[in-house]
Amino acid sequence: MKIIMLGAPGAGKGTQAKLIAEKYGLPHVSTGDIFRANIKNGTELGKEAKKYMDAGALVPDELTVKILLDRVAQKDCEGGYVLDGFPRTIPQAQVLEDALAKLGESIDYAINVEVPDEAIVNRMSGRRACVSCGATYHIVNIPPKKEGICDVCGSELILRDDDKPETVRKRLEVYHEQTQPLVDFYQNKGVLREVDGTKTMEEIFDSIAKILG
């Protein structure tokens, strides 16, 4: 089962992707995680990706497509996967579709987690990330036991540049311009399913589980 998660930055699609991966035994393939790993390790790809991410812009297609196709070609993806953060543009979606078609495969579901923009701005500005281990929190929904300190390793928690309100609004503008058309793209393919992302995490997952069966 090959699943794509759609939704604006901060809609909660990453959380749902992890839950789907756990329930159905599929790899959770997150371009964000791949980029962050490269950034943390100081690779050339990481340095280049960081420039775009810090500015609230999308990482260019050629960087993203190459790393993604290499990942889904690995053995653990033979039975399917959950894509989180890719594709983000129509050209990316077409490259993915062409690559899968050569293998006689296609995407089974594109699940769109729908959340209004202002709710996303409020949600993301409450996020905090650990500077050392990368664990994430939310000051309202998932607060650390001690304010500003990571439960896992005791390091400082920060508001990442790409979670600041002004950056989030810019990312949402980019999303509506470049990524929103994917909803129509997968609607036309007959694989789009939509869920209400303003509900609780459990309610959203229940809706998705009913779709996937």
Examine residue 162 and state whether it is found in any structural domain, yes or no: no
pLDDT at 28: 94
Examine residue 126 and state whether it is found in any structural domain, yes or no: no
Examine residue 147 and state whether it is found in any structural domain, yes or no: no
**Max Cα separation, the chain?**
51
Q: Which of 44, 54, 15 is nearest to 67 (CA)?
A: 44
Question: What is d(CA 98, CA 104) in angstroms, rounded to the nearest whole number?
Answer: 10
Examine residue 158 and state whether it is found in any structural domain, yes or no: no
Question: What is d(CA 28, CA 81) in angstroms, rounded to the nearest whole number?
Answer: 6
The answer to whether the CB of 165 falls within 8 A of the CB of 121 is yes
Q: Which two tokens stand for residue 22?
A: 């756990």
Examine residue 29 and state whether it is found in any structural domain, yes or no: yes
Range of the domain at 73: 2-116+173-212
pLDDT at 138: 92
Examine residue 149 and state whether it is found in any structural domain, yes or no: no
Regions of the chain short of the pLDDT cut 50:
none
Question: What is d(CA 121, CA 112) in angstroms, rounded to the nearest whole number?
Answer: 18
Q: Which two tokens stand for residue 125?
A: 């500005």
Examine residue 154 and state whether it is found in any structural domain, yes or no: no
The amino acid sitting at 150 is C
CATH code: domain of residue 32: 3.40.50.300
Q: What is the per-residue pLDDT across 155-191, written as a single tens digit (0 to 9) for each?
A: 999 999 888 999 999 989 988 998 889 999 999 999 9
User: How many domains does the chain contain in total?
Assistant: 1
Question: What is d(CA 91, CA 96) in angstroms, rounded to the nearest whole number?
Answer: 9
The answer to whether the CB of 63 falls within 8 A of the CB of 48 is yes
Q: How far is CA 100 from each of CA 67, 80, 96, 138, 178, rounded to the nearest angstrom?
A: 15, 12, 6, 37, 22
Active site residues: 13, 88, 127, 160, 171
Question: What is d(CA 163, CA 169) in angstroms, rounded to the nearest whole number?
Answer: 10
Q: What is the pTM of this model?
A: 0.76
Q: Which residues contact 47 (CB under 8 A, 6 or more apart)?
A: 39
Examine residue 24 and state whether it is found in any structural domain, yes or no: yes
